[in-house]
Amino acid sequence: MWHDHVLTAKQFSRADIETVLDRAADFDGPTGDTRHTDSLLGLLFFEPSTRTKMSFETAIKRLGGDTIDMGSVGSSSVSKGESLADTVRVIEGYADALVLRHPKQGAAKMASEFVDVPVINAGDGAGHHPTQTLLDLYTIRENAGLDDLSIGIMGDLKYGRTVHSLAQALTNFEVTQHFVSPESLALPPTVRYDLDEAGASVEEHTGLDGVLPDLDVLYVTRIQRERFPDENEYRAVASEYGIDLGTLENAKDDLSIMHPLPRVDEIDPAIDDTDHATYFEQAHNGIPVRMALLDLLL
Amino acid sequence: MTDDHQLRVGKIENGTVIDHVTGGQALNVLAILDIDGSGGEEVSVGMNVPSDRIGRKDIVKVEGRELSQGEVDVLSLIAPDATINIVRNYDVVEKHRVERPAEVVGVLSCPNANCITTEREPVDSRFTVLADGVRCAYCGTLIREEFATHIDVG
Ligand SMILES: [Zn+2]
């Protein structure tokens, strides 16, 4: 057994990550598979995320399995006040593994303590999003390798769970992480603690200009309107932490630009046609990576 | 020497003497024990008393109360050198030093309002004890100071 559950990116060693990515490479093609025909994946999405959900649905169906879905929260027993602990113990009786998306941090970890089937964390509040991280790493490995890299991570670093998970996972590799954000959205102390403890090479910046020429990868995330009390302040910050063709004049020719999507204004669509754009490939990689993960867990 | 200083704040008949508390932490010890005087407890406090072992120390004596393990665990975070003396009929019947536990369970509440342990779920709070604080085992939130304000009363 590889791991019982997938709860945080922190649980992965370098070998764990390489196991998933190597297997994902085997699944990365047009062929389907039938090795998990009898498997049912329980989808428990306590907040909407159509893409993450569809990506898990696609992955299990391409392995020959199927899903059961508790539906939207408003129409389920959760709206009647059932605890998460009870919900997962009921669905455990139906499904071979549970995929949980929940607004509260630590929800997946708690759920894993109540069930014997694998729990996969598909995002818990501002906490973790480990399967996104695995597909991010797969994409980085395909484009730039996973060592001797300078990786820029820009945007909302405070609330962005994809950033937290990616930063933790990258401590397994020889990379320098450059965090670029307004001070009000800098990495939270808990993530910084993990990076320091792992001895990671980390630099924090409030602007992209000085660091851009060194970067092999630039991971852009969305800054959300609701993080700012006023519209003008938001606009100023959003434009400062967005990129267009002009921004990239000093970038390396082989800079990969990534984004967990959906994007709003932070990457100018003019970049889509350049070799820098890696975000759609990144989104596609969610399928082979989640197939690999399910194959290891089921 | 120590006995003299203990006498200075009076003997107790039954209860707990918390000795060798880090100087200046006595009021936080009282907060951890949820003692603010309003409950009528008989409490003596000595602050910044000279100590051979730790320089200056505080002493807290609580009449009629023996501490729970959870309370002792949290005490250890702010007063790692403390000794707990259980007194019955004016005699010290048990004496032990606090030990920093690997984790404290069900004692502190997580300050992160978005943590699953703050919901109505059948789960205790759980904090891993680090060299310089504690960390929620569910959401990762760090607490490095003012432990007393996070005590989950009742
Ligand atoms: Zn917590």
Residue that wins the pLDDT comparison between B32 and B122? B122
pLDDT above 80: residue B99:
yes
Q: What is the pLDDT of residue B154?
A: 45
B105 and chain A in contact, CB less than 8 A: no
The amino acid present at B108, given as its one-letter code, is L
Percent of chain A scoring above 90 in pLDDT: 82
Q: Which residues, in sequence order, are CB contacts of A160 under 8 Å at separation 6+?
A: A126, A221
Nearest to B138 among A103, A110, A189 (CB): A110
State the average pLDDT over residues A4-21. Answer: 96
pLDDT at residue B9 greater than cutoff 60: no
Q: What is the DSSP string of A184-225?
A: GGPPPHHHHHHHHHTT-EEEEES-STTTGGG-SEEEE-PPPG
- At B51, phi and psi to the nearest 5? -135, 135
Alpha helices in chain A (DSSP H): 14-27, 50-62, 84-91, 107-112, 130-144, 161-170, 189-197, 231-240, 279-284, 286-297
Q: How far is A289 from chain B (nearest CA, A)?
A: 25
* Average pLDDT, integer, range B85-97: 91
Confidence at B39, pLDDT banded by 50, 70, 90: confident
Strand partners, A55: none
Q: Which amino acid is at A92?
A: E
Mutate: best of A86, A88, A102, A109, partner B, most B CBs <10 A:
A109
Out of A109, A127, A190, the one facing B142 most closely (by C-beta) is A190
CA of B152 to the centre of ligand 1 (A): 13
Give the pLDDT score at B111: 94
What distances in angstroms separate CA A293 from CA A30, B4, B139, one per listed residue?
18, 66, 23
For residue A10 the two structure tokens come to: 């922190």
pLDDT for residue B149: 79
Q: Which residue has the tokens 């906490």?
A: A127
List the one residue out of A295, A260, A254 whose CA is nearest residue A279: A260
Q: Residue B89 and residue A145: Cα distance in Å, rounded?
A: 72
B100 has pLDDT over 60: yes
Which residue pairs, CB below 8 angstroms and at least 24 apart, start in A248-252?
A: A248/A212, A248/A274, A248/A276, A250/A209, A250/A212, A250/A213, A251/A212, A251/A213, A251/A215, A251/A218, A251/A276, A252/A213, A252/A215, A252/A216
- Positive or negative CA dihedral for A116, A121, A125, A128? positive
Q: Average pLDDT for residues A120-136, to the nearest whole number? A: 95
d(CA B100, CA B129): 8
Q: Which of A59-68, A78-87, A133-142 has the lowest mean pLDDT?
A: A78-87
Residue B1 has pLDDT above 50, yes or no: no
- Report chain A's mean pLDDT, rounded to a whole number: 93
Q: B101: distance to nearest CA of chain A, Å?
A: 20
Q: Residue A281 class from Cβ within 10 Å (0-12 exposed, 13-18 middle, 19+ buried)?
A: middle
pLDDT digits (tens, 9 = 90+) for A256-292: 999 999 998 899 999 999 999 999 999 999 999 999 9
Look up residue B117 and give its DSSP letter: G
Residue with tokens 């002792």: B72
**Dihedral of the alpha carbons of A24, A28, A33, A36, in degrees to the nearest 10:** 20
Interface touch B121/A127, C-beta < 8 Å: no
Chain segment A133-187, per-residue pLDDT in tens: 999 999 999 999 999 999 999 999 999 999 999 999 999 999 999 999 999 999 9
Q: How far is CA A195 from the centre of its chain?
A: 17
Q: Closest-CA residue in chain B for A107?
A: B116
Q: DSSP secondary-structure letter at B84?
A: E
What pLDDT is attached to residue B28? 87
Quote the mean pLDDT of chain B: 86
B61 — phi, psi (to 5°)?
Answer: -120, 125
pLDDT higher than 90, residue A209 = yes
CA distance between the termini of chain A: 9
